[in-house]
Amino acid sequence: MPPPPDDPGSSSARTPLIPTPPPRRAVTRLHPLPLLVAAAFAASYHLLVAPSPSYYHSLLLSLGSNDTAAAHLRALTLRPHHAGTEANARAAAHVVSALSSLSFPARVAPYSVLLSYPIHRSLSLSAPGHATTPFALVQDTYPGDPYAAVSAEAVPTFLAYAASGSVAAEAVYANYGRPEDFAYLAARGVNVTGKVVLARYGKVYRGDIVMNARKAGAAAAVIYTDAKDYAAGKAFPYGPWMPPTGVQVGSTFKGSGDPTTPMWASSEGCERVSIAEAMATDDMPGIPALPVSGRDGEAILQLISGDVAPEDWQGGDGKPVRLGPGPAVLNLTYIGNETMVTIQNVISVIEGKEEPDRYIILGNHRDAWTFGAVDPNSGTAALLELAQRFSELQKKGWRPRRTIILCNWDAEEYGLVGSTEWVEENRAMLTSRTVAYLNVDSAVYGAGFYASATPQLDELLKEASKQVQNPDNETQSLYDLWMASASSSLIGRLGGGGSDYSAFVQHIGIPSVDISMGSEYPVYHSLYDDFVWMEKFGDPLFRRHVAVASMWGLIALRLSDEEILPFNYSTYALELENGAIDINGRLLGVPVSLSPLQNSIEEFKRAALQVDSELKALQTWKVWYPWRNNPLKVRDLNERLMMTERAFTDREGLSGRPWYKHLIYAPSLHDDYGAQVYPGVDDAIQMAERRNTSESWRSVQHEIYRIARVINQASLVLSGGLT
């Protein structure tokens, strides 16, 4: 572009022009009072005619389009689009095109990361007196399947990052594969060493199942979908339940992000550990493993003898289940290909007007194990439908006060890879500028509303849900639906490692939210998670997609548009207190003092009360003196509200798990899906209970002091004081 006229390099500067002076005329001096009145009138007129943020919030809710959501979902799920494939690149192009068509500039942020693909899989079953049974390890298409022709493009059933190898050994049944299940087997004298463990999906993360099997001495693991949990009714396409050959595929990696760049970003030219080193870490399963269907799992169980399993270990087919080992022998071979692949995050920025350096980030991932109609592209469809609404708001004159960033992550299914790499690469900017991260993974599983959040956002969630219509009952709000459900007494917490909020909350301490309609669906991670399943069972009218987008968008608008951030830390203080009560119950009779934690919580409660008083005073002041402005006061208060969550992080991270910096929320040590309050203390207590040494109990005390220190830091940030 040409330089401006007053630039020294411009033609105007090189050839100065001498203007002709204007003729003299009389000068009228204006009295300052009328000028002030005129300025005040102009300002008040602007306030009168300019729509308030609430106008745009109401407009957003009126613009929902189930047709738009359905069209995007159909386009995104035409074929399986596994991370690292050409089909997933085409899905990324669809997201870029959709955002660009709305005048939202969209760019691709690529990363080279280690992903895992199957090369060879085989599994057979034998037992004395029985012929050897080879398993096909194939998910059958269903009658009338419109996607039958492209189903072959789906990745073969496998568990990502499982170790390559061959094992032939007796089978042992281990229920859900939890530590307590293996402890029960040991107590019953069932030897797992060198055996192939058969466990059923449910209760804990599949990577924990395989890791627990390895720690118990197993040589390999097989995980199946039991009818009790996944086939309790008519199978798809006649009902929503898993067909007999359905298999839940997935990752077994317990870390977050690219395995070759632990703790740092996978940027161009970066340092990397070797693939062999990455595969040898404790975050990898370390033994061969395969997922199988319910039909194959039941066939294996029928040939396992030994003691009868407890009642709560029994499956859904009604046949008695035994523990083993043997005489059933499983011959398992898995050969994987761990290779560097380029993934693509899609990023789009809607720049804020008054505070462009403050970010509200909305994120959803795009990659799927198969067609991904529920997981994750119901969320992607909701994101694009919401973007359409933002575009309509812009046409009506809306510009957010703060910047809104729309993110579509890649390779989430492998271990939150795309979001983690982006957060690690942009850590300094994000920690200094991000107000909140709003996550939607699978927007729609079915009926019911579910939400999780860091506690300062609890009240905002409830308030927003009162404004969104229940998609299944026009006379109710989403709040009414929520409060009538079993989840009404609890907003979930974001300690689990199940979705892309993990890097934001657990690594850098960003206030966050995660929402969905429904909580579970039987065809999870299988070939049957397609558009037909969604259209028949998940959301036939696509009203639930619209409701999630409405809730997502309304929370985003309130965080981006309101002058004072709608955070409430009194809820956080209560959460910290309840967590301490739970810990106290576990420490009765042991030489550990909870006083440091209790004292720090009391200090945090005082800081929360102080900031509540400031908020009320400021709101009152703004009502009675709207023509006066104190932007520095507002900015200071917002900074404290925004940065308090960061103070709960510790640069050293959890003991033995340094990537997890947040000392209040992180995954449970034995279940990556499970959220744990005070995870460092929980880890230390579990260790002390096993060892029962003075040193191990001192470690518990140390972790209590660590938590007390970050809570004290959070109190200082929230109160805005220095010691």
Residues 6+ apart with CB under 8 A from 286: 163, 211, 214
Token code pair at residue 596:
């440091």
Token code pair at residue 290:
């395969």
Pairing label, strands 355-365, 329-350: unpaired
**Nearest by Cα to 437 from 487, 503, 534:** 503
Residue with token string 């994000």: 430
Q: At 516, which helix (H) or strand (E)? A: strand 512-517
Task: Report CA-CA distances (Å) from 388 to 67, 347, 589.
Answer: 12, 16, 59
What is 117-179 written as a DSSP string?
A: EEEEEEEEEEETTEEEEE----PPP-TT-TTGGGGGGSPPS-EETPPPEEEEEEEEE-TT--H
Residues 6+ apart with CB under 8 A from 525: 248, 249, 250, 369, 370, 375
Beta bridge partners of 329: 126, 170
* Residues 529, 373 contacting (CB under 8 angstroms): yes
Dihedral (CA of 608, 609, 612, 614) sign: negative
* Calpha distance 553→566 (Å, rounded): 15
Dihedral (CA of 276, 278, 283, 289) sign: negative
* Residues 445, 517 contacting (CB under 8 angstroms): yes
Token code pair at residue 314:
């029994």
Catalytic residues: 412
**How many residues belong to the chain?**
723
Q: What is the dihedral of CA 256, 260, 265, 271, to 10 degrees?
A: 160
Pairing label, strands 130-134, 106-127: antiparallel
**Nearest by Cα to 44 from 623, 626, 632, 564:** 626
* Calpha distance 221→638 (Å, rounded): 50
The single-letter DSSP state of residue 657 is B
Residues 6+ apart with CB under 8 A from 688: 590, 696, 697, 699, 700
Token code pair at residue 427:
């850590």
Backbone angles phi, psi at 436, to 5 degrees: -165, 155
